[in-house]
Structure 1
Amino acid sequence: MALPALGLNPCSLLHLFLCQLLLLLLPSTAVGDSVQGPVPRVKFHAGDGRRALSLFHQKDLQDFDTLLLSSDGNTLYVGVREAILALDIQDPGVPRLKNMISWPASDRKKSECAFKRKSNETQCFNFLRVLVSFNATHLYACGTFAFSPSCTFIELQDSYLQPISENRILEGKGQSPFDPAHKHTAVLADGNLYSGTMNNFLGSEPILMRALGPQPVLKTDNFLRWLQSDASFVAAIPSTDVVYFFFEESASEFEFFEKLHTSRVARVCKNDVGGEKLLQKKWTTFLKAQLLCTQAGQLPFNVIRHAVLLAPNSSSAEPYVYAIFTSQWQVGETRSSAVCAFALSDIQRVFEGKYKELNKETSRWTTYGVPNINPRPGSCSVGPSSDKALTFMKNHFLMDQQVEGRPLLVKSGVEYTQLAVEMAPGIEGHSHLVLYLGTATGFLHKAVVSGDSDAHLVEEIQLFPEPEPVRNLQLAPSQGAVFAGFSKGIWRVPRANCSVYESCVDCVLARDPHCAWDPKAHVCALLPNPIPMSWKQDMERGNPDWACTSVPRGRSRRPLRRPQIIKEVLAAPNSLLELPCPHTSALASYLWTHGPGQIPEDSSAVYNGSLLLLLRAGQGGLYQCWATENDFSYPVVSYWVDSQDPSLALDPELAGIPRERVEAPLTRVGGGASLAAPRSYWPHFLTVTVLLALVLSGFLILLIASPLGALRARGKVQGCGTPPPGEKAPLSRKQHPQNSTEHRTSVGDVDSDNNHLGTEVA
C-alpha cells in the first residue's frame, strides 16, 4: 500500500486524522479574525419590523446606479439601465413613481457592441452614469450606450420628465465610461461639466475633462502621463475657484516589490483656458497630490472608495472632505475600512507647496523647490500663462507633500463603498457629525462623531437578504431619510427609529443625535424644532445617571435601578424554567441576579443569555437580568418566580411597580433530578456524534483498503505480471531463478523484438 510506504501505520494515521479534525473544529485565533473598531450597538436583520424600510422596485427595471435629488427635495431622479425615473418622495412610505422615460441603446450600437465581443446579456445596454441638474428646466444625462458613450438634455415640466428625441443625443466620450464596470465621477459647476472617466474602449486612457458651458473644452494630456493608466475616479468636488478630483492609481514615485496603489486628489482651476502654443486644449493648472489615511497598528489605507464635501452651516466653521478608504492588503480573509477627514485648508496648503521632479537618468522622483516664475505655475491667475510656466507644468504636476487626514473611524471585517454625511444639532447646542456608510455586502452603518471623541456606531441595518454592494447613497434632509440604490431597486431608510428605545436609559445610551427622551410622554422620539428644554440627551458621555433622573445629582439615584415592570411566573416545584433576557445592546455585558445576591449555581445555568432554572423549594423570588454599559448598570428584565404552594411574600421594595403574568417554558423534572439538569448538552452531543462518525468512517476505510492492497500486491507477484524471459526484471524486485523445462509460451506471446514465438510447446 502507498500509505505504509510513507512510514505511517494505521494507528498513526488515525491519530493524525483526529488532530486535523480537532484543528478544523476549534475556533480560529488568527489576527484577521479579531474584530477591531466600534461595534454597532443595535443590529437589524433584513425584514426586521423594528426598523421599517420602504422598497421601490419594478420587475422590468434594474441597476439603480445614479441618484439625483431635486432642488426642492421632493423628487428623486434615478438613472437605471436604459431608463430614467422621477420618484415622488414626499410621503414617508414607499416612493411613488411619477413618470419614467426610456433611453435604450440603438439596435445598431448593440450589434456593434456584440461584434466587439461584449456580452449581450450584461454589457451591451445603456447604463446611466451621469445625471445632473443643468438648470431649472433641464437635466443632463450621460450613459455607456452599448460601449459608445452618449449624452442628452432632458426637459422638465413640473418635475416630470419629457421624452428624449434621437436628434438631441450628443457624443459622450470623456464624460461617461465605455464599460459600465469602470468607476467614474462628474459634477456640474458654474454651468460646466467636470468629469473623470476612461476615454477609450479598452479602458486604459483615463481623462479629466471639462465640457458644456461657455468655457473651452479642456482635457488632461495622456502623452505626458499625468494620470496612470489604471486611474479610478470616485468623486469630484467643486470649490470657490477650483474643482477637486479624488481617485486612486498605481504610484510611480515609490519603489516597491509590487504595484503600489495610492489615493490622490487632483486640482484644476475653473478659469483655465488652456495654452496658446503649449498645452493647447489641455489643462495648464493640473496638479495632483497624495492622500494619506493611516492609523498606528493598521495596514495603510491606500485605496479611496468615495469622498464627499460637507459645507459648514456657519461661515466661521471650516469645510471638510470626508472619504472612505480600504487597503490593497488584507490579513487573512478580512478587509479593513477607514473614514478620514481632510480639512480643505490643508488640501490648499499642499498645492501651494513644493513640487516633485522626475530625474530621467535615475528614474527617481526628487523634491523640487518653488520656481522663480511669476505668477506661480498651476495657480488660478487671470489670463494665459507664459511658455516658461507651461513648460514647467508639463513635468511638475506632482506635489511633494502629502495631504494627511484624521481617522474618524477604523473598522476591520467590513468594506465600505458609499458615504453620506450631515450635521445633526443636539440638545446641548452642539452639532454632531453623522456618517451613513454603505458596505460591500448590503449593510448600512450609522456612525456618529461628537466633538473630538472617536466615532461610535449607533446601528447596523441589513438592506438586502443576499450579499450585494450598496451602489449609491442619497441623503434627503427635508424628508428625514437616506435612499440606497442597488441592483433591484431603492430602499428608503429613515434616519432614525427612536421608538425602538423603550426606556429613558436605553434612549440615552443609544447616543443617537436624532433621538431624545420626552419625560412628559415617556417615549423616545425624534428631536423637534425647536427643541424643548425638558427633553433628555447625552451625546458626549451617554450617562443616564443625570439625564434620566429629576433629583439632584448629590441625592440617591436608586429609582433608576427599579424595574419598569415585573413579569410574574408561576410554576410547580421541580420544574425547569427558561427565563429569556433580551440583549438590547451589543455593547453591554449581562448578569443574572437573585434578589440582592447571585443566582443559585447548583440549580441554574445561563445558556444563550437565558436563565435555565430548576425551581426548588425556597428558590423563588425576584430574578433580574442586568446590563452594564458605559459604566452604568440597569435591569433589562425582571421576573417574580413563585411556586403554586406555598406562595412567597411580596418584597415591600417592589411595591408600586406594574406586574404582568407570563408563561415561561416549563419542563417537569423528577424529584431526584441531578443538579446539572438545567444545562443543555445538545451541542456537545452533536459534536461527539460527528466526531465519532468521522473516526469510524476513517477506520473502516483503512480496514477495507488494507486487504485490497494486499490482494493487488499478491496478484502482481503470482499473475500475469511476471516478465517474459527476454525482459529484465525491475531493479527494485528480487531476482528469482527460472526453470527452463517448465516454461510455456502461447501463440499470443511475443519476444522482446515483438516477434511471435509460435505454438505452445513443453
Structure 2
Amino acid sequence: MEFLALDASLTLHYEAPLEPLGRELPGDSLWLSMALPALGLDPWSLLGLFLFQLLQLLLPTTTAGGGGQGPTPRVRYYAGDERRALSFFHQKGLQDFDTLLLSDDGNTLYVGAREAILALDIQDPGVLSLKNMIPWPASDRKKSECAFKKKNNETQCFNFIRVLVSYNATHLYTCGTFAFSPACTFIELQDSYLLPILEDKVTEGKGQSPFDPAHKHTAVLVDGTLYSGTMNNFLGSEPILMRTLGSQPVLKTDTFLRWLHRKDLTPAGPFPEYLLTMCQVPEVFGGWRESCLAWQRLETMFPLTVSRQVGGTRSSAVCAFSLMDIERVFKGKYKELNKETSRWTTYRGPETNPRPGSCSVGPSSDKALTFMKDHFLMDEQVVGTPLLVKSGVEYTRLAVETAQDLDGHSYLVMYLGTTTGSLHKAVVSGDSSAHLVEEIQLFPDPEPVRNLQLAPTQGAVFVGFSGGVWRVPRANCSVYESCVDCVLARDPHCAWDPESRTCCLLSAPNLNSWKQDMEHGNPGWACASGPMGRSLRPQSRPQIIKEVLAVPSSILELPCPHLSALASYYWSHGPAAVPEASSTIYNGSLLLILQDGVGGLYQCWATENGFSYPVVSYWVDSQDQPLALDPELAGIPREHVEVPLTRVSGGAALAAQRSYWPHFVTVTVLLALVLSAALIILLASPLGALRARGKVQGCGTLPPGEKAPLSREQHLQPPKECRTSASDVDADSNCLGTEVA
C-alpha cells in the first residue's frame, strides 16, 4: 500500500510524462494538455488549478519547533491554550513572586514577593485566593543609601524576599535583600494567617540573604538550624557558607577558601558553589566534566542539573547521583595542594582523629582544625548518570516527585522551568532515560520561571514569576481522547478507563480494568482485547467518520490534528494513496480538488512508537453524484462537518469557514509583478548589452559624428585592426564591436 507522506515541505505531484499525440508541447504544457481531458476541466478551471498549486508554493509553511536536541515534548501547549486549564494569581502593585513555601497541611502557599509576603488559599482547584498579606519594605534610609551607592532605585533598591522557611508550627523565618542591606526576621502565624512584622524583631541577614537580588543563594532549615549559602559582601565577590539559628554557635567558612571562586565550578541555578560535584555529559558538553547542582534530595537519588552555553546555545542536563556513591567518596582519601607546583594531589599521609565530617565529643584540637582547612576537597569524584540532556534549553528550576503506575512501579517525575517561561514535564523510565510528556508555555512573552513548588495533596505545581503565581495541574489526562493516545503519552498519572472510555487521572494502582503501558507505550497490547491483544496491526476501522458534502471543482481543506510531536503523519484514500494530480498537503491539512473519482474515505494516519492509527477520517461526497456507502464502514458513527472550501470554476466561496479569495487576489497580483519584472529585464538586456559594448575600446569604433551602417553586410564586416582582451571575446572567439543592428 502506498501513501502520500506528510511533511513540512510542499511538493506538487504530477503524473508521469506521456508520449505526445501530435505536436510536441514544451515542458509542463504536455502535462496540462493531457490533464485537461483527464480531469474534465475547462480552461478556466484549469487556470484555477494552476493558481491553486501556485498558491501552495507561496503560502508560508510552518515547521514544528524542535526545541533543540534531546527529548522532544510530545504535546505542546501555547500560552492561553484552552486544552490546558491553569489558574493564575496576581496582586495589583506587587511583582517578583520569587519565593514559594507550602504549609505543613498543604492547604496554604506562602509567597515571598518584592517587599511583601502573602498567604494564598490553594484548596480550591480552580481559584487561588488571598488569605492575607503583610508588607515588609526596606526603610527609606536603606533605600537612600542604596541609591547613593550607585544602585538603581527603580529596580534594585527594594527588599526582595530570598529566604522563606517554616521554623516551627507557629513561626516562619524569612530574609531579604533589604536594599543591599540584608535583613531577617520571624513571622508569627495564626491559623495560617500572617501576623505583621515588628521592626524591633528585624536582625541583620548578612550571610543568609544576598545583597544583590541577582546573586545566587540557597537556604535549608534542618532541625531548627539554618544552613545558607550566598555572597557575603556588597560587590558579590565573597561566597560564604553559614550555619545560624538553633542551639549551636554560628559557623561560617573563612574567606581564604578560594576554591569557592573556581570558574569551572560555577553552577547555573539558585544554589551556591558548595553544593557541587562532577557530572560528565559528553553528548552536550563535548566530553567536558561540568559542575552539577544539587536541587533536591529524593530518597536514594540526587536529581541534579547543569547549564552551559556551547556554540551560542544553552544546554542543560539533569543527572542522578546515588547517596551510596556520595558516602563512599566522603569516606575516601583527601586532596592536598602542593605549594611548590600549585597542583592538587592525593593526600597519602596519616589521617587525624576524629576524621573530618564525623561526630566527636568535645572541641576539636588545633591539629584537627588545621588538617580540615588544608584538606577540604575529597580525592574522588561523584559521577552522576545523565537522566535528561537537552540543548537549546536553559533550565532555571526543578521540582521532583515519584509516581506509581498501574503495576505499582515507581517513576521519577520532574517538572522543569526554563528561561523562556516554559514548564517541561519529564518522566524517567526504568532504563534511566527521560521522555518529555508535555511542554507548557506559561507566559505570552518570554521570561524566566522564578520558582517551582510541588503540592502533592493538591495535585498541582505552583510556578512563581515576575507577575504572579500559576497553578498547573500536574497531569492533563482529559486531553487524550482515545486509548491509543492515552497509552502513547506514557504519563504515570494517566490511564485509560474502558468503562467510561476516557483517559483518567490515576488515583490508585492495581486497577485491573484500566489500561497503561509505561515502559513500552504499546497501544496494540494495552488497548486491544481478546487474542489480538499483542498485535501491532494498525487500527484501520475509524471510531467516527466526518462527512463532507461539497460541490464539484471545489478546493477542500481536510485538517489533520497533530496530537503528538513524536509521530509522523500521512494521508490515505481508502486502501490506496491520495490522488496526486488533484491534491497537495499544507501544514498537515490535505488540500483536495473535488473531481470525478476523488471522493470517498480519506484518513490521516499517525505512526508513533511503531504503531499506526487513524487520527481523523473523512467521507468526501459530491452534491451532484453522491457515492454509495462502503459496506465495510457500516455501523460507524457519522458526523456532518463543513470544511473550508473554495469553488474553482467560477462562483463565490461555498460554505467556507476560511475563503481563499484574498490569497487568490494576492497570488494574481504577485504573478503580474513577476511577469512585469521579467519583461523589464528582457527589455533592459539589449540596452545593457549596448552600454557594455560601448565601453569596449580599440575594436573598430566609429569616428565621432559617423552613424552606424544600416545594412547587415556592413554591420557584419569586422574592422581591419582589432586588438582584444579576454573580456572582448565572446564564446565563439568573435571580436565584440560597438555596432548594433
2 CA distance for matches of 1:597 and 1:203? 69
Q: Is residue 479 of structure 2 the alignment partner of residue 500 of structure 1?
A: yes
* Conservation of the 8 A alpha-carbon contact between 1:234 and 1:304: no
Unaligned runs of 5+ in 1: 1-25, 237-245, 249-263, 267-289, 313-318, 672-676, 707-762
Among 304, 311, 319, the residue aligned to 1:323: 304
Q: Which residue of structure 2 lines up, in the alignment, with residue 215 of structure 1?
A: 248
Kindly report which structure 2 residues correspond to 1:175-194, keeping only aligned pairs within 5 A, or say none: 175-194=208-227
Partner of 1:114: helix, strand, or coil?
helix
Q: Which residue of structure 2 lines up, in the alignment, with residue 69 of structure 1?
A: 102
Greater CA drift, 98-107 or 647-656: 647-656
Among 42, 45, 50, the residue aligned to 2:75: 42
Q: Is residue 143 of structure 2 the alignment partner of residue 106 of structure 1?
A: no
Displacement, 1:34? 9.0
Q: Which residue of structure 1 lines up, in the alignment, with residue 188 of structure 2?
A: 155
**Deviations 1:623-659 (Å, cap 9, x if unpaired)?**
1000000000000010101112322111111111100
* Conservation of the 8 A alpha-carbon contact between 1:198 and 1:207: yes
Partner of 1:196: helix, strand, or coil?
strand
Q: Which residue of structure 2 lines up, in the alignment, with residue 247 of structure 1?
A: 272
Match of 2:245, as an amino acid?
A: L
Partner of 2:381: helix, strand, or coil?
strand
Q: Which residue of structure 2 lines up, in the alignment, with residue 710 of structure 1?
A: none
Q: Is residue 295 of structure 2 the alignment partner of residue 308 of structure 1?
A: yes
**Deviations 1:705-731 (Å, cap 9, x if unpaired)?**
x9xxxxxxxxxxxxxxxxxxxxxxxxx
1 CA distance for matches of 2:156 and 2:437? 39
* Conservation of the 8 A alpha-carbon contact between 1:301 and 1:325: no
Among 383, 404, 413, the residue aligned to 2:362: 383
* Conservation of the 8 A alpha-carbon contact between 2:216 and 2:272: no
Partner of 1:376: helix, strand, or coil?
coil
2 CA distance for matches of 1:501 and 1:154? 45
Displacement, 1:511? 0.7
2 CA distance for matches of 1:159 and 1:223? 43
2 CA distance for matches of 1:399 and 1:684? 74
Among 275, 281, 292, the residue aligned to 2:279: 292
Greater CA drift, 210-219 or 367-376: 367-376
TM-score of the superposed pair, with normalisation by structure 1: 0.75
2 CA distance for matches of 1:340 and 1:690? 56
Displacement, 1:558? 6.6
Partner of 1:597: helix, strand, or coil?
coil
Kindly report which structure 2 residues correspond to 1:228-627, keeping only aligned pairs within 5 A, or say none: 228=261, 247-248=272-273, 265=275, 290-296=277-283, 298-299=285-286, 307-312=294-299, 319-327=300-308, 329-331=309-311, 333-369=312-348, 371-529=350-508, 531-553=510-532, 560-627=539-606
Q: Which residue of structure 1 lines up, in the alignment, with residue 28 of structure 2?
A: none
Displacement, 1:493? 0.3
Is the alpha carbon distance of 1:693 and 1:73 closer, same or farther for their aligned partners in structure 2, counting shifts above 3 Å? farther
2 CA distance for matches of 1:305 and 1:77? 29
Q: Is residue 233 of structure 2 the alignment partner of residue 200 of structure 1?
A: yes
Unaligned runs of 5+ in 2: 1-59, 651-659, 692-741
**How many aligned positions are there?**
612
Q: Which residue of structure 2 lines up, in the alignment, with residue 52 of structure 1?
A: 85
Greater relative contact order, per chain length (Cα 8 Å cut-off, separation 6+):
2
Please provide the CA RMSD for this pair.
Answer: 3.2
2 CA distance for matches of 1:126 and 1:86? 18
2 CA distance for matches of 1:638 and 1:418? 42
**Deviations 1:208-237 (Å, cap 9, x if unpaired)?**
01111100100101134352287867889x
2 CA distance for matches of 1:348 and 1:388? 24
Partner of 1:452: helix, strand, or coil?
coil
**Deviations 1:557-592 (Å, cap 9, x if unpaired)?**
779331111011111222211111111110000010
1 CA distance for matches of 2:416 and 2:373? 39
**Deviations 1:15-55 (Å, cap 9, x if unpaired)?**
xxxxxxxxxxx99xxxx999311100100000000001111
Q: Which residue of structure 1 lines up, in the alignment, with residue 9 of structure 2?
A: none
Displacement, 1:619? 1.7
**Deviations 1:40-71 (Å, cap 9, x if unpaired)?**
01000000000011110012010101100000
Displacement, 1:688? 12
Match of 1:578, as an amino acid?
A: E
Displacement, 1:303? 6.1
Match of 1:330, as an amino acid?
A: V
Is the alpha carbon distance of 1:646 and 1:36 closer, same or farther for their aligned partners in structure 2, counting shifts above 3 Å? same
1 CA distance for matches of 2:671 and 2:196? 64
2 CA distance for matches of 1:686 and 1:172? 67
Displacement, 1:371? 2.5
Partner of 1:398: helix, strand, or coil?
coil
Is the alpha carbon distance of 1:683 and 1:176 closer, same or farther for their aligned partners in structure 2, counting shifts above 3 Å? farther
1 CA distance for matches of 2:357 and 2:510? 48
1 CA distance for matches of 2:421 and 2:475? 18
Deviation >4 Å, runs of 4+: 229-236, 300-306, 554-559, 680-694
Displacement, 1:301? 6.9
Kindly report which structure 2 residues correspond to 1:79-94, keeping only aligned pairs within 5 A, or say none: 79-94=112-127
2 CA distance for matches of 1:550 and 1:458? 26
Displacement, 1:310? 4.2
Overall identity of the aligned pairs, in %: 72
1 CA distance for matches of 2:130 and 2:292? 31
Displacement, 1:685? 9.4
* Conservation of the 8 A alpha-carbon contact between 1:358 and 1:366: yes
Greater CA drift, 221-230 or 462-471: 221-230
* Conservation of the 8 A alpha-carbon contact between 1:303 and 1:325: yes
Partner of 1:73: helix, strand, or coil?
coil
Displacement, 1:683? 9.3
Is the alpha carbon distance of 1:113 and 1:297 closer, same or farther for their aligned partners in structure 2, counting shifts above 3 Å? closer
* Conservation of the 8 A alpha-carbon contact between 2:524 and 2:535: no
2 CA distance for matches of 1:94 and 1:214? 41
